[in-house]
Amino acid sequence: MLAPGVRPCWCQFILAFFKPVTPMYLSRFLLLNIFLEVKAMHLMLLSPTEYAKLQELCDLFDNYLAVSAIIAGETPAQVYVDDMNIPTVALLFPWDGHRVYLVGETHNEQLIQEIKRALFSFFSPFKKQGRSYEFLIYYASSLWEPHFSSLCEGMETRVARRQYYGITQVLPRWQEYLPAAWLLRRIDAQLLGEQQLRYLPELIEEVHSESPSVQDFLARKFGYCVQEDHTLLGWCLSEYNHEDRCEVGIETMSQYRKLGVGVITASALIAHALAQGITKIGWHCWKDNEPSSALAIKLGGTLVAEYAVQREFGEGNLLIEWLVDKEQPIRR
């Protein structure tokens, strides 16, 4: 256990806490810790046993289900705070390396610069590899906006918008959408082991996008897919299952879109979620992704919030996205 205010041997802590996480993601945590151990004066690593201290600070992040899962210890992450006892700023790095949650607010320029260096240190391996990489930064306070010129120095900005839908019931008679030639299957260990299935690697990649391992997905989450012969046409997976909530990840192979695959896989997932006691299902999509928003509405989804996205393009093909929600922040 970490003593408050004491910086531990980062490598030992991370190797113990992130043992289930793949080495690709682990390397970024190690690089960030090396940076913070040498450079940091304000940001300190918070022990998972202390995450409850963030509950009140993260109240505005209620629609970011990943944050709730992190605080509950259900999603691996590293959390850095400005104060070990009463944090007013926190930086949450989930294991996946695609997003960061910037919690709280500050006018401390030194801390802001430290956050900037930490972000670039965490994602610098991709910049050094010369390949495009995208990550999201979520925040609730508009007080961060005046600092964008510093935090996003040397980057080109573009604005987009996203939407969040809430689903609480399943579409009546959804099974009627399933043609006789299609097979609806639960995504389980047996299916994931059938190497002859076309698009199985894409499905496994989708599993890894929101779960640190296949084993974690099978233990905590669920999903459904549609199969025709030896081809997977599409799938729908639950994400960040926490208490009576989950979120949705959905994908249909391009040549099978507009055939009803999404209606079937999403309806099967919603029906299973409701049967498991999950009553709140979240659906996130880009505002200009009309097929996704139309599907959410068809499934009975209600638009809960729309939020602004500032996309930052940096040198070295490093793509950074800053997400801003002036009223309620919503996870991707």
Per-residue pLDDT, 27: 52
How many whole angstroms separate alpha carbon 179 and alpha carbon 175? 9
Residue ranges covered by each domain of the chain: 10-155+314-324, 166-307
239 forms bridges with which residues in the sheet?
A: 247
Residue 222, both tokens: 């669920």
Q: Is 60 exceeded by the pLDDT of residue 326? A: no
Mean pLDDT, the chain, rounded, equals: 82
Is the distance from CB of 252 to CB of 284 less than 8 angstroms?
no
Q: Is 50 exceeded by the pLDDT of residue 316? A: no
Binned at pLDDT 50, 70 and 90, residue 324 comes out as low
| Digit-coded pLDDT (tens) for 182-207 | 999 999 999 999 999 999 999 999 99
| Digit-coded pLDDT (tens) for 237-294 | 999 999 999 999 999 999 999 999 999 999 999 999 999 999 999 999 989 999 999 9
Is the distance from CB of 238 to CB of 223 less than 8 angstroms?
yes
Per-residue pLDDT, 64: 84
Residue 279, both tokens: 């009553």
What is the three-state SS of 196-248?
A: CCECHHHHHHHHHHHCCCHHHHHHHCCEEEEEECCEEEEEEEEEEEECCEEEE
Binned at pLDDT 50, 70 and 90, residue 298 comes out as very high
Q: Which residue has the tokens 């498991």?
A: 276
Give the CATH class of 166-307: alpha beta
